[in-house]
Structure 1
Amino acid sequence: MMKKTLLALTCIITLTINAFAQNTFNKAKLDNLLEVLATNNRRMASVAISQNGKVIYQKATGIAATDMPATVETKYRIGSISKMFTATLVFQLIDEGKLQLNDPLSKWYPKIPGADKTTIGLMLKHRSGLFNFTNDSTYLTYYKQTQTEQQQIARFEKLPKAFDPDTKSAYSNTNYVLLGFIAQKVTGKSYAQLIKERITGKLGLDKTYAGGAINTKKGEAQSFKYRNGWQPETATDMSIPGGAGAIVSTPAELTRFIEGLFNGKLVSDSSLKVMKRLNGNFGSGMFAYRFDNKTAFGHNGSIDAFNSALVYFPDEKFTVAICSNGGTFSVDNLLLASLKIYFGQAYQLPVFSNVKLTDAELTKYTGIYGIVQAAMKITIAKKDGVLTAQATGQSDFPLEPIGTDKFGFDPAGIVITFDTAKGELNIEQGSRGTIFKKE
């Protein structure tokens, strides 16, 4: 889910794996990877791997709170993996004849733009054209405050359509907040009740639920950013993400959830087929993750400084779940590394330089950088001895020194190179670079 970065969500991951035959799983190497990331303050993570319905690997690193180390029992906010849970609820109601894929949004919320042509099915697949409310300029003014359904709907009614329904696909949290509300209206029960009665209760998951304010005394993790030590990140009020991102869980329980979903314990076979059917990159509440000629299904998530990933290979009956509460090393890269190690592929543990710059060295980069062709500006600042970048309307993110006048932000694949003589920075993402001039 929720806060914005300069990079949109990547839905399909491709990796060449020569064979899916089980090799000897080098657990020590995966242990070493997680320790290297934690020791170098690049990623705190909890990982679970399941084969044939049995958890065969678990390890947690880092802290859950400032005074509490993380364990494999620590519970994390999982962000947009929550959408898999919400989609499951919707398809259960479809199986029961209480909802239909072609039901229009206008049946419940007629004042939302395009509601008469926006259906449950389009919302599930991110083809609704509903504007992603977390991209709205006002989002950061209220995300820490409890919101009612009426307040959320009033905002959604004012947002413009992103595009006409069913003309293209674009990820939008708005879809799943609304689906969560609709499930509540159809059943007369709260989202938290529905998750407990229809999913976690059926699967015996006692560490998975719709979250509220973080309670570290109950084993719930805070999230952190690393700035001269792990600093707690501000927490989103969970009334806001709702069906798009409010679930709390552990990696081991996430493996049981997705295995239960694919093994017929939650929805009908016909509904699961619809969930898996891709339209572009999107299924209904899930993505496809392709490795050579094999396909996994799952989702990833991000809320505050929490990041997560969950993938299941139906043919191999193999699952990987990752929950994290801080770090700049990409969780997608950690997922790929875990798969390579599990399947005996070549993988070299990362080496980090841990370059430290003086306050004076950082100061020469600070300032506001703009571009003539667009209104967006990038503010470069110092916080606790770390250089940060913040684009207009977005939250700031830390920059790590990776070379002379060069800094990176690994989760978004961003590299910023400064030319202090010219007063410029070049921000690169993928193969694209843009020059910003210091004001």
Structure 2
Amino acid sequence: MKKAILTTVLLLTLGQIGLAQTNFDKTKLDNYFNALEENNKFMGSVAVSKNGEIIYTKTIGLADVENNKKATENSKYRIGSISKSFTAVLVLKAVEQKKLDLNQTIDKWFPTIINAKKITVKHLLSHRSGIHNFTKDKDYLTWNTQQKTEKELVEIITKGGSDFKPDSKAEYSNSNFVLLTYILEKTFEKSYSDLLQEFIVKPIGLTSTYVFGKINPNNNECKSYTFAGTWKVEPETDFTVPLGAGAITSTPIDLTKFADALFGGKLLSNESLEIMKTIKDGYGIGLFQMPFYKSVGYGHTGGIDGFTSVYSYFPDDKVSYALISNGTNMNNNDISIAVLSAVYNKPYEIPVFTTFNLTSEDLDKYLGVYSSKQIPLKITVSKNGNTLIAQATGQSAFPLEATEKDKFKFDQAGVVLEFNPTDKTMILKQGGGQFTFTKE
């Protein structure tokens, strides 16, 4: 949901894959997570199931930093856009019951939306509507914590207009799934929350999955955090904003149960499941493909406030994997690779973290606004205590970790910044690209 750099492809490597192990080295994987916890790299929980049985769980970090409350296996986290998988199941349930048709247009519900007479329910589900993604707007983070009515949110989405002709391509938009939420509620004359419980949660026995309200630590609900030298609590998005695009709370164990049930035919017909799994321009219906070595999984990622998440199901091996974090100071994709490598008996290393400590005064020589002739982007470098902060034009600020003299990184986005204070230059490295910036 939030503006974050999140990978939708879990991981992609080459080579032969072994069958998933039920007797893998759990101690090594525990030690991997202990290393993350000891170095403030990750707070969250993972679960893996095989053949419908949980074979590994691990939870580290704090559910409530301010009160030093440790997270447990029963701690609940906001799952962000993984909610879209649940919403897609509900829409296909409505189709199976002949209450909705995938090819019907949305003008009867939303006549004010541009191209409403050309946009179908399926276009919304597969991100092919062209409807602008309201969470991309610069002002989104100024009002996302406030309650919104359907009328207000539809007005915001209508005002955002269209980014492309319906069905001409696919582009991720949370607006699609907010509108699908309203369609479901009108179709069944029930709240999204009630529909979630009736058609998914109760039939498959989930114990910790529901539409969130205000975070309640007394109900085992985690707050979320970003790391800037210490864990800083994040504001809470109001549930009326993301709705079926991102308003569900759950646990990794519940997510593996959901995946097992979905792909085990307990939620939808085989025909409906095939519709969900059919990938066009990178998008399925509430699902993405997630390859690991030669095995192909299906699932979704999520991000809302300081929460990040991913789940994937590998049909060939009947393996479900889920991770939810309420605070991360590294690339969660690396954690997913480590867990699945353990399960599939592939090599992985327990990371060694080295720290390069700087005082607040040491950072002063890096501060300023940097611009590049290579890309139309300015980066403002500031500091918060003894942590360097970078912010690119139109994007959220992110903390930088010092790794050696004049060198900093932001693991979550794979960013490295190398400064030359004498020349007043900075080199940005990301995704194989290298860009030179000069201090203005």
C-alpha separation in 1, matches of 2:251 and 2:419: 41
What amino acid is aligned across from residue 48 of structure 2 in structure 1?
I
Map 1:105-144 to 2 at 5 A.
105-144=106-145
State the match for 1:42 in structure 2: 41
Question: Quick check: 1:31 aligned with 2:48?
Answer: no
Which amino acid in structure 1 is aligned with residue 170 of structure 2? S
The 2-side partners of 1:248 and 1:123 are apart by 23
Q: Report Cα offsets for 1:198-226 as digits up to 9, x if no partner.
A: 11011111210011111111000001122
2:356–2:402 contact (8 Å) kept in structure 1? yes
Per the alignment, residue 318 of structure 2 pairs with 317
- After superposition, the Cα gap between the structure-2 partners of 1:319 and 1:8, relative to the gap in structure 1 and judged at 3 Å, is closer
Residue 53 (str. 1) matches residue 65 (str. 2): no
Match of 1:414 in 2: 415
Given that residues 128 and 164 in structure 1 are in contact (C-alpha distance below 8 angstroms), is that contact kept between their aligned partners in structure 2?
A: yes
State the alpha-carbon separation in 2 of the partners of residues 305 and 80 from structure 1. 13
Measured in 1, the distance between the counterparts of 2:177 and 2:111 equals 17
Matched residue, 1:354: 355
Q: Does 1:379 align with 2:377?
A: no
Number of residue pairs the alignment of both structures matches: 437
The one-letter amino acid paired with 1:369 is Y
Number of the residue aligned with 2:334? 333
* SS of residue matched to 1:113: coil
Shift of 1:438: 2.0
* Distance in structure 2 (CA, Å) of the matches to 1:300 and 1:49: 16
CA distance in 1, matches of 2:6, 2:74: 31
Across the aligned residues of Structure 1 and Structure 2, the Cα RMSD in angstroms comes to 1.6
- What is the aligned partner in structure 2 of residue 11 from structure 1? 9
Say which SS state the counterpart of residue 107 (structure 2) adopts: helix
Q: TM-score of the superposition, structure 2-length normalised? A: 0.95
Note if contact 2:20-2:317 (Cα within 8 Å) is conserved in structure 1.
no
Map of 2:226 onto structure 1: 225
1:296 maps onto 2:297 in alignment: yes
**What is the CA–CA distance in structure 2 between the aligned matches of 1:419 and 1:113, rounded to whole Å?**
49
Aligned CA distance change for structure 1 residues 434 and 44 (closer, same or farther; 3 Å):
same
Structure 1 stretch displaced more, 118-127 or 368-377: 368-377
* CA positional deviation for 1:17: 5.1
Alignment of 1:141-290 (within 5 A): 141-290=142-291
Counterpart Cα distance in 1 of 2:181 and 2:420: 48
How far did 1:118 drift? 1.4
- Contact kept in structure 2, 1:227 and 1:384, CA below 8 Å: no
1:308 is matched with which residue? 309
Q: CA deviation at 1:36?
A: 0.6
User: Alpha-carbon deviation of 1:49?
Assistant: 0.9
Quick check: 1:212–1:239 contact (8 Å CA) kept in 2? no
What amino acid is aligned across from residue 266 of structure 2 in structure 1?
A: K
Q: Which moved more, 1:276-285 or 1:419-428?
A: 419-428
Q: Contact between 2:16 and 2:294, CA under 8 Å: does it hold in 1?
A: no
User: Aligned partner of 2:94: which letter?
Assistant: L
**Aligned equivalents of 1:408, 1:228: Cα separation in 2:** 13
* SS of aligned partner of 1:337: helix
Q: Which amino acid aligns with 2:11?
A: I
CA deviations on 1:365-400 (whole Å, 9 max, x unpaired) are: 112223467764322111132111112232211111
3-state secondary structure, aligned to 1:256: helix
Aligned to 2:90: 89
Contact 1:208–1:247, Cα closer than 8 Å, also in 2: yes
Contact 2:7 2:333 in 1 (8 A): no
- Deviation sequence 1:394-413 (CA, Å, 0-9, x none): 22111111233221111111
Report the counterpart of residue 63 of structure 2 in structure 1. 64
Alpha-carbon distance, 1:9 to partner: 4.0
Question: Are 1:134 and 1:173, in contact at CA under 8 Å, matched by a contact in 2?
Answer: yes
- Alpha-carbon deviation of 1:177? 1.2
One-letter amino acid of the counterpart of residue 147, structure 2: T
Contact between 1:133 and 1:174, CA under 8 Å: does it hold in 2?
yes
CA contact (8 A) 2:82 2:300 kept: yes
Unaligned residue ranges in structure 1 (runs of 5+)? none
SS at match of 2:48: strand
CA-CA distance at 1:47 after TM superposition: 0.9
Secondary structure, aligned partner of 1:46:
strand
The Cα shift of 1:421 comes to 2.0
Counterpart mapping for 1:424-439 below 5 A:
424-439=425-440
d(CA) in 2 for partners of 1:144 and 1:437?
A: 37
CA distance in 2, matches of 1:33, 1:164: 47
Shift of residue 140, structure 1, vs aligned partner: 1.7
Retained in 2: the 8 A contact 1:11–1:282? no
Q: Residue 112 and residue 373 in structure 1: after superposition, are their counterparts in 2 closer, same or farther (change >3 A)?
A: farther
Distance in 1 (CA, whole Å) between partners of 2:178 and 2:428 is 33
Structure 2: distance between partners of 1:8 and 1:227: 19
| TM-score relative to the length of structure 1 | 0.96
User: Separation in 1 of the partners of 2:7 and 2:58?
Assistant: 26
**One of 15, 18, 21 as aligned partner of 2:19:** 21
